[in-house]
Amino acid sequence: MGNVAVIGAQWGDEGKGKVVDWLASRAEIVVRFQGGHNAGHTLVVGNETYKLSLLPSGVVRGKLGIIGNGVVVDPEALLAEIARVEAQGLTVRPDNLRVAENAALILPLHAALDRAREAARGERKIGTTGRGIGPAYEDKVARRAIRVCDLAEPETLAEKLDELLLHHNTLLRGLGAEPFSKAALLAQLLALAPRILPYAEPVWQRLDEARRAGRRILFEGAQAVMLDVDHGTYPFVTSSNTVAASAAAGAGLGPGAIGFVLGIAKAYSTRVGAGPFPTELHDATGALLGDRGHEFGTVTGRRRRCGWFDAALVRQAVKVGGIQGLALTKLDVLDGLPELRIGVGYRIDGMLWRHLPAAPRAQAAAEPVYETMEGWSQSTRGARSWAELPAQAVKYVRRIEELTESPVTLLSTSPERDDTILVRDPFEG
């Protein structure tokens, strides 16, 4: 049996939580490999709804969860999330959650800098969550990050804080924000150490042993390909690589261990925050999609922008993200619409493009080129086989396959875990 990596194929919020939960029930280990607590997955299990940000989705199913070295970890947020899900009846302990000892930490100064920068940008703000993810990744690349393993060495913490504060307090003062005290930060970290360190280990060793033993591993991505720091709509992107290739580096394994790459895409498009969105709808149809789809960010709570399915963008995500099959979610949201549109390309300065270019002004100027299809009046909600779908819904899915050059391997027709049509088992490769 192979392993599976799950990534978003649009701008995030595609319904990865349900799909990952469905796959996690069949995996033995679930690994988060990038991002921070700026990502959110909502899992509906029976009458209980779990909102996860840092914890791998497998903890809901009693599976071993691993937070890889590619994740930036806010220790306070992690402990708060553990407490929250335990209040809902789950058990999260060091025997079912492991954290990479070499993962970088997010500190309060990172969030303060994040918010101060966004405020200084004014109308040009990127739309970050203000949780410090970007500044934490900056420190990691600049080789001044405090990592999980540093919590075991008080002298190392004290030395690293000197360098951190020299950098961050200078920036904070320049932005008109309050600087941080070394004594207060050191005391906070030393108090957190005995609560975080029991979860820490060289997770690459555990994952290597699991791979050799043939155990099923599910790699859980956050955000999506079009928010990738290299391949997304820069600068309106996240601070990490969201493509499947980063699953190996972010977990401590070789690329051959990743297995089948499943991309998650909604049957329409959404985006939270600023940035280009060619197929966005500003009319009643866009509002309808938002209302029906309950389009509010799990982490931000902000209303998502809604639009038609952009096949050109998803095809681009398939190519650069290494996607081998799509899981199409929220098909039921389109029920009853008399006409549907699919974006098949863009017109920029009179020229036709089949992909979204990298240049910001070109992205902002992109006008969608649409293909129109007939909708369906029957309900698809809760369908669990192709035979239960209206003929036009099947045609819509097939056309998406053709335009994105990727097969639909899984189809979701409601938030419920079992309302899923399985075309091809990702774990079978």
Candidates 13, 139, 228, 310; catalytic one:
13
According to DSSP, residue 124 is labeled: G
Query: What residue has token string 């819904």?
Result: 393
DSSP string, 272-330: -SSS--TTB--SHHHHHHHHHTT-B-TTT-PBPEEE-EEHHHHHHHHHHHT--EEEEE-
Nearby residues of 320 by Cβ (< 8 Å), 6 or more positions away: 225, 228, 231, 243
Q: Give the type of residue at 246.
A: S
CA distance 330 to 341: 16
Check if 355 is active-site.
no
- Cβ–Cβ contacts within 10 Å for residue 87, how many? 8
* Cα dist from 222 to 17, 82, 239, whole Å: 10, 18, 11
DSSP string, 179-219: ---HHHHHHHHHHHHHHHGGGEE-HHHHHHHHHHTT--EEE
* Cα dist from 401 to 108, 181, 311, 315, 340, whole Å: 44, 55, 9, 9, 16
Three-state DSSP at 13 gives coil
Check if 13 is active-site.
yes
Candidates 37, 41, 110, 168; catalytic one:
41
CA distance 51 to 85: 8
Query: What DSSP element (H or E) covers 421?
Result: strand 420-422
Q: Residue 298, exposed/middle/buried by CB under 10 A (0-12, 13-18, 19+)?
A: middle
Show which residues are catalytic. Answer: 13, 41
